[in-house]
Amino acid sequence: VAIVEVGPGLLEALSALRDRVARARFPLPAPGSAAARRTRDDLVAQLDDHLLPRLRSPDAPLLAVVGGSTGAGKSTLVNSLVGREVSPAGFLRPTTRTPVLVCHTGDLPWFADRRVLPGLERGGDLRLEPTDALPPGLALLDAPDIDSLDARGRELAAELVCAADVWVFVTSASRYADAVPWHVLRTAREHDVTLVTVLDRVPHPVVPELSETFAEMLTRAGLGAVPRFTVPELPESVGLGGLLPRTAVAGLREWLAAHAQDPQVRAAAARRTVDGALESLRFRVGELAAASALQHAAVLRLSCNVADAYAEAEREIAHTVDTGGLMRGEAQARWLEYVGPEYTGTGERERLRDALGASLAALLRSALDTAARRAAHLWRADAAGRALAAEAEQLAAGAGTRHRAVRLAEEWLAGVAALAGGGDAAVRLAAAAFGAGAGTDGRGGEAGRIDRASRDLHARTGELVRLERERRYALLDRLDVTPDQQIELVAAVSAVWKER
């Protein structure tokens, strides 16, 4: 009997959503990005472990995951339901480290392949125990404790809960008030999974009192309608072979069998779980979309920091060149020497040429250093940019910019030499382009050449600034944060919603 009928459209839309969610990246430490990464992983696990397998195989047996605190008596309960020790119980905490899946022998093929819990290696990470003691259509999974001390154990327990059609929450008289199980219970309520609780190991005299307190706690948590079973503990209640008497688990056994076998009950439970999952999916993908928007906003902000810093550099360079700022200091002194009465020949010419090149390179370096420092400083001041600021500073500290500034000056001077035909005409033209007053000797075409040399200088410096800016942008581009992620997540979840 199919327990949930869904169209192929929904399955396709859900698979597409799963892939889009799995590809979502939140690389920048913008607000909510750590939570978004966790939500993404949870969503993918839930879709892979439960929702997609359940929808693809509506006839598959119902999987009841037995979960709860360590020592609550989960393994003992599973063994007692099956009637033999399939999962060792013990005094050591925790005892169960590898989950054990028990199902009817005929149902084994459903679980032998990786339809459910595809991440768990059969035999190694998940032990399969076929039995004829369970009715067909019902599988029990004995899970490690949910409040496990090691992170891997907790993750595994959470993953197993995600895979459940029915979650059998087991707690004990001594543990029922603990925080972690209640946190997991509330999560189960949010996902609207089918839930049943077992208050285990309750000392016989306090059974009525304790089960009432527990019922009140469930009601307060919005779980008042959840079926409850109480298993009393007598010193001898775990008899030979470590099993509880049949009567102690009869109620739970019947409830589970009814769920697995009554097509209507089964369908209603599965429908509820799927609906709950879809509902929470929409909400959580919404969170991912919002976090994606914040990622993109952060990248835009960090790009603007770079753009502003380098626009300032470009302005500074142009202004200095245009107002004769390159003909100061050393360049000015060598120029006066060159045009002065002491002029003796090529010595002065070479010194002037070197001084002009050095003046240009120094201007470029200083403007680009300032821009690099400003951009890195702005990134450091932004929580999202802090991690990248270190890389930006490394770029700034390297010798690359200095080399490129010197090379630009050399190449421009070579271009000017070619334009002027070398010799004295070349240095005079370069000096004139830097704003030296006596640049023109009045011969035809001089003004045009100065203009060309200036324009060439502006073009080269503009290109250099652009390349330096690109190096900072590349740090952001590498993160591959685009507006598409948000748009595609929203589109993928809307497609699921339409097919529902």
Ligand X SMILES: Nc1nc2c(ncn2[C@@H]2O[C@H](COP(=O)(O)OP(=O)(O)OP(=O)(O)O)[C@@H](O)[C@H]2O)c(=O)[nH]1
CB-nearer residue toward ligand X: 156 or 231: 231
Which of Mg ion, ligand X, none has residue 160 at its interface (CB below 5 to 8 Å by kind)?
Answer: none
- Residue 70 is a binding residue for ligand X (CB under 6 A): yes
CB-nearer residue toward Mg ion: 100 or 493: 100
Strand pairing report for 138-142 and 100-104: antiparallel
- Residue 74 is a binding residue for ligand X (CB under 6 A): yes
For residue 226, CA distances in Å to 63, 119, 276, 304, 342 come to 18, 30, 15, 54, 104
Distance (Å, whole) CA 112 – CA 122: 7
Distance (Å, whole) CA 426 – CA 230: 100
Who contacts 181 (Cβ-Cβ below 8 Å, separation ≥6)? 68, 69, 146, 147, 169, 171, 175
- Residue 76 is a binding residue for Mg ion (CB under 5 A): no
Backbone angle region of 57, left / alpha / beta, with phi > 0 → left and psi within -120 to 50 → alpha: beta
Give the DSSP H/E element, type plus range, for residue 358. Answer: helix 346-380
State which of residues 5, 8, 91, 113 lies at the interface with ligand X (CB under 6 A). Answer: 91
The least distance separating ligand X from the CB of residue 87, rounded to whole angstroms, comes to 7
- Residue 80 is a binding residue for Mg ion (CB under 5 A): no
State which of residues 23, 38, 56, 93 lies at the interface with ligand X (CB under 6 A). Answer: 93
Enter the tokens of residue 230. 């109480």
For residue 121, CA distances in Å to 42, 43, 154, 405, 411 come to 19, 21, 18, 59, 64
- Residue 95 is a binding residue for Mg ion (CB under 5 A): yes
- Residue 98 is a binding residue for ligand X (CB under 6 A): no
403 class by beta-carbon count within 10 Å (0-12 exposed, 13-18 middle, 19+ buried)? exposed
Distance (Å, whole) CA 18 – CA 40: 9
The least distance separating ligand X from the CB of residue 101, rounded to whole angstroms, comes to 15
- Residue 75 is a binding residue for ligand X (CB under 6 A): yes
The least distance separating ligand X from the CB of residue 499, rounded to whole angstroms, comes to 39
Q: Which amino acid is at 341?
A: P
State which of residues 39, 75, 292, 461 lies at the interface with Mg ion (CB under 5 A). Answer: 75
Give the DSSP H/E element, type plus range, for residue 30. Answer: none
- Residue 76 is a binding residue for ligand X (CB under 6 A): yes
Which of Mg ion, ligand X, none has residue 244 at its interface (CB below 5 to 8 Å by kind)?
Answer: ligand X
The least distance separating Mg ion from the CB of residue 148, rounded to whole angstroms, comes to 11
| 451 φ, ψ (degrees, to nearest 5) | -60, -40
DSSP letter at 343 equals -
Which range in 5-13, 21-29, 72-80, 367-375 contacts ligand X by CB under 6 A?
A: 72-80
Distance (Å, whole) CA 415 – CA 458: 13
State which of residues 7, 9, 90, 324 lies at the interface with ligand X (CB under 6 A). Answer: 90
For residue 233, CA distances in Å to 70, 145, 175, 206 come to 16, 20, 14, 10
- Residue 94 is a binding residue for ligand X (CB under 6 A): yes
Which range in 1-9, 57-65, 69-77, 312-320 contacts Mg ion by CB under 5 A?
A: 69-77
The least distance separating ligand X from the CB of residue 214, rounded to whole angstroms, comes to 16
Enter the tokens of residue 436. 């030296």
- Paired with 138 in beta bridges are 62
- Residue 50 is a binding residue for ligand X (CB under 6 A): no
- Residue 175 is a binding residue for ligand X (CB under 6 A): no
What is the x/- site pattern for ligand X, positions 221-260, by CB under 6 A? ----------x-x---xx---x-x----------------
CB-nearer residue toward ligand X: 139 or 231: 231
What is the x/- site pattern for ligand X, positions 106-145, by CB under 6 A? --------------------------------------xx
Site residues, ligand X (CB under 6 A)? 70-76, 89-91, 93-96, 144-145, 200-201, 231, 233, 237-238, 242, 244
Judged by the rule CB under 5 A, the positions of this chain that interact with Mg ion are 74-75, 95-96
